[in-house]
Chains A and B, each alone.
Chain A
Amino acid sequence: MQNKEKRINNILGEKFTAYLFILPSLLALAVFMFWPLIRTIYLSFFSWNMIKPTKTFVGIDNYVNLFKDPLTYKVMGNTALYIIILLILNCVAPYIMSFILSMVIKKGKGFYKSVIFLPSVISLVVGSILYLWILNPISGPAAIIAKFFGLTLPIWSKTDGLVILVISLITTWKIFGYNFIVVLSGVSGISSEIIEAAKLDKVPLHRIFMDIVLPMSSATGIYVFIMTIVQGLQYVFTPIKVITQGGPDNASSNAIYNAYQEAFVLYRTGNASAFAIVTMILFVILLVLEFKYVERGVYYEN
């Protein structure tokens, strides 16, 4: 692939046109992505409520307070819980499902692919509202079914832990389809001959999955893993904002929602910025890990 790239790159040499073509995209990114990044870092060293004409410099106080505040740890704990649940539902489950779809299922693959992906195109606000009603502990369809079995649904929007689970489920409804399609292509990319050889050797299905499929599609797997964490945590913002607003008592808030709350509800931009930066650093660590594993070492599918 490398020599081909070189060939492609040497075709056209006008530097001006090159820069011109990337200019609009870069401009948009510079103004609304990179400049704000710098500005947020800057703001994180101040205390400011977005309205006062002057800002108060506080040095690293915001960061220090962040690490001292018990709320931070509650929020981070929630974030960890979100991550775990999202990974199980949107990384592990799609893997298993795409393995089944490509190895076991013979007919109707196209149909399943289409239908499983479908919820991914629907607004998460719609999803939140639909599930808010469907999972309504008193009069929603789920409650009715539960009553049929003699159970009552807890008021999940007021229950610690459970609220995180439900919000994760709602977010899963949206992102599962997309993750599934990506993982499926990674899994289907594995040469069928290898699988057939394993089947001829009577290797049991779950071993084929663990020892062959998983390692050979690891580039895709890592991509989905990282995307689920980075994008997933941002996606859950919507159901949190729409349904619980972080409650009860920040039980459903996470790193993303908390920063939003600090900024636009409590007007403490310094705290919000510091929190956002810390969150981003966590993501950057993931980026470093991704480059380490995806760009070298790990088995590379075609």
Chain B
Amino acid sequence: MKEIIFENICKSYGKTKVVNNLNLTIKEGERLVLLGPSGCGKSTILRIIAGLEDITSGKLYMNDDCVNDVPSGDRNVAMVFQNYALFPHMTVEDNITYGLKVHKVPKEEVKKRLEAALEMLKLKGLENRKPKDLSGGQRQRVALARAVVKKSDFFLLDEPLSNLDAQLRGHARKELVKIHETCGQTFVYVTHDQVEAMTVGDRVALMNEGTLQMIDTPHNVYNKPANVFTAKFIGAPSTNIFPVDYLDGKIALGNQNLILPQMWINKIVDSGCKNLYFGIRPEHINFSRIEIDNAFKGFVKYIEDYGNRFGIYIEVEGNEIIAMCDKNQLKSGDIVYFSPDFTKIHLFDRNTTMSIGYPEEL
């Protein structure tokens, strides 16, 4: 199977652990996105696959073989670097075909692949230009072309869009997905941009400080985060997280209580946790100035106007919570009552920060 399997992989630079006991399977033909903040280890993981970094401990399997000691050139991997890494002294055509020519691929085959790549990436007419005479977007496409002509099993992309202007990015994202669908290889894609991760990936692997936080479809990563970090990282503005305690069917926040629906009570009792983190996304909060049943009470700290929506900052029992709405009639200092949409809450064990799970009904 053309899979990549990480088995207990650790990577350290001296005393600093950069990748912490990673266990991960990348399935054949999928688009896997490695997402996370700076320094989380995602680029290191990519480079480990490419063989550009040594593995401190653990085993890496590609195509069912352990490749720990296999040199980069033998791993059948193509990579697109963040800064494109085009040879400045070679033309576009030479850049793309250099690897093929060195390995004495027959001329007709080289031509065929070159033409296909130029066509796919809309680079026709630029063959004889040098990188310095290309725009950022064109250089990126040349880097992609170089990787595409290799026809390798695995295609690694290290933040390929981060050096492009924002407007180009949306378009480039779609092109990348199209390339994947045309070529069919396994894509491993590193980014720090959530939107990219959620739109490009079949699955998203979220990393933080060298540890894998969650790997699942974008939908699940968004709607059923496995831990507090995931809940807070995914989505903007961030999920509200505050500490609560469970007692007798209610969750207590300071002096206030909220009655939970039975499905959640069952879940909490099953988990055996009493001290929890309560998570709710800003867009899933109902609030009003009039008192409503089974709600928390707080006051408005301030209001942000995003143009199409409003962010209401509410203070309750010493915690700050953000709620989102389309229209706003509140002002700073107002008392406000708010309650969550109970089908969209997230509960985490306060000791482990792990999710206690979701009721079957959801």
**A interface list, Cβ under 8 A from B:** 6-7, 10-11, 13
Q: Report B-chain residues with C-beta under 8 Å of the C-beta of A11.
A: 52
B contact residues, total (Cβ < 8 Å): 5
Q: Report B-chain residues with C-beta under 8 Å of the C-beta of A7.
A: 52
Q: Report A-chain residues with C-beta under 8 Å of the C-beta of B53.
A: 10
Q: Report B-chain residues with C-beta under 8 Å of the C-beta of A6.
A: 13
> Any chain A CB within 8 A of the CB of B216?
no
Compute how far the CA of A7 lies from the CA of B13 in the bound complex, rounded to whole angstroms: 11
> Any chain A CB within 8 A of the CB of B272?
no
| A-B contact list, 8 entries, CB within 8 Å | A6-B13, A7-B52, A10-B52, A10-B53, A10-B54, A11-B52, A13-B54, A13-B71
Q: B71: nearest residue on chain A (CB-CB)?
A: A13
- Ranked nearest first, the 8 interchain pairs of A and B with the lowest CB-CB distance are A10-B53, A10-B54, A11-B52, A6-B13, A10-B52, A13-B71, A7-B52, A13-B54
Compute how far the CA of A249 lies from the CA of B202 in the bound complex, rounded to whole angstroms: 89
Compute how far the CA of A7 lies from the CA of B82 in the bound complex, rounded to whole angstroms: 15
Compute how far the CA of A10 lies from the CA of B53 in the bound complex, rounded to whole angstroms: 6
Q: A13: nearest residue on chain B (CB-CB)?
A: B71
**B interface list, Cβ under 8 A from A:** 13, 52-54, 71
Compute how far the CA of A7 lies from the CA of B52 in the bound complex, rounded to whole angstroms: 8
A5 to chain B, nearest CB (A): 12
Q: Report B-chain residues with C-beta under 8 Å of the C-beta of A10.
A: 52-54
A4 to chain B, nearest CB (A): 12
Compute how far the CA of A11 lies from the CA of B51 in the bound complex, rounded to whole angstroms: 9
Q: Report A-chain residues with C-beta under 8 Å of the C-beta of B54.
A: 10, 13
Q: Known A-B contacts: A10-B52, A10-B54, A11-B52. Give 5 more (CB < 8 A).
A: A6-B13, A7-B52, A10-B53, A13-B54, A13-B71
Compute how far the CA of A7 lies from the CA of B54 in the bound complex, rounded to whole angstroms: 11
Compute how far the CA of A11 lies from the CA of B53 in the bound complex, rounded to whole angstroms: 8
B64 to chain A, nearest CB (A): 24
Q: A11: nearest residue on chain B (CB-CB)?
A: B52
Compute how far the CA of A267 lies from the CA of B104 in the bound complex, rounded to whole angstroms: 63
Compute how far the CA of A10 lies from the CA of B55 in the bound complex, rounded to whole angstroms: 11
Most buried by B among A6, A7, A10: A10
B147 to chain A, nearest CB (A): 18
A13 to chain B, nearest CB (A): 7
Compute how far the CA of A13 lies from the CA of B53 in the bound complex, rounded to whole angstroms: 11
Compute how far the CA of A6 lies from the CA of B52 in the bound complex, rounded to whole angstroms: 11
Q: Report B-chain residues with C-beta under 8 Å of the C-beta of A13.
A: 54, 71
Q: B53: nearest residue on chain A (CB-CB)?
A: A10
A15 to chain B, nearest CB (A): 13
Compute how far the CA of A6 lies from the CA of B14 in the bound complex, rounded to whole angstroms: 11
B186 to chain A, nearest CB (A): 24
Q: B14: nearest residue on chain A (CB-CB)?
A: A6
Q: Report A-chain residues with C-beta under 8 Å of the C-beta of B71.
A: 13
Compute how far the CA of A11 lies from the CA of B52 in the bound complex, rounded to whole angstroms: 6
Compute how far the CA of A7 lies from the CA of B71 in the bound complex, rounded to whole angstroms: 16
B359 to chain A, nearest CB (A): 46
Q: A2: nearest residue on chain B (CB-CB)?
A: B13
B343 to chain A, nearest CB (A): 46
B251 to chain A, nearest CB (A): 45
B19 to chain A, nearest CB (A): 14
A158 to chain B, nearest CB (A): 60
Q: B72: nearest residue on chain A (CB-CB)?
A: A11
Compute how far the CA of A158 lies from the CA of B321 in the bound complex, rounded to whole angstroms: 93
Q: B54: nearest residue on chain A (CB-CB)?
A: A10
Compute how far the CA of A11 lies from the CA of B47 in the bound complex, rounded to whole angstroms: 11
Q: Report A-chain residues with C-beta under 8 Å of the C-beta of B52.
A: 7, 10-11
Compute how far the CA of A232 lies from the CA of B54 in the bound complex, rounded to whole angstroms: 46
B156 to chain A, nearest CB (A): 16
Q: A3: nearest residue on chain B (CB-CB)?
A: B13
Compute how far the CA of A11 lies from the CA of B79 in the bound complex, rounded to whole angstroms: 14
Compute how far the CA of A6 lies from the CA of B12 in the bound complex, rounded to whole angstroms: 12
Compute how far the CA of A246 lies from the CA of B71 in the bound complex, rounded to whole angstroms: 61
Compute how far the CA of A13 lies from the CA of B13 in the bound complex, rounded to whole angstroms: 17
Compute how far the CA of A7 lies from the CA of B18 in the bound complex, rounded to whole angstroms: 14
B54 to chain A, nearest CB (A): 6
Compute how far the CA of A297 lies from the CA of B13 in the bound complex, rounded to whole angstroms: 26
Q: A7: nearest residue on chain B (CB-CB)?
A: B52
Compute how far the CA of A6 lies from the CA of B16 in the bound complex, rounded to whole angstroms: 14
Compute how far the CA of A10 lies from the CA of B52 in the bound complex, rounded to whole angstroms: 7
Compute how far the CA of A13 lies from the CA of B71 in the bound complex, rounded to whole angstroms: 9
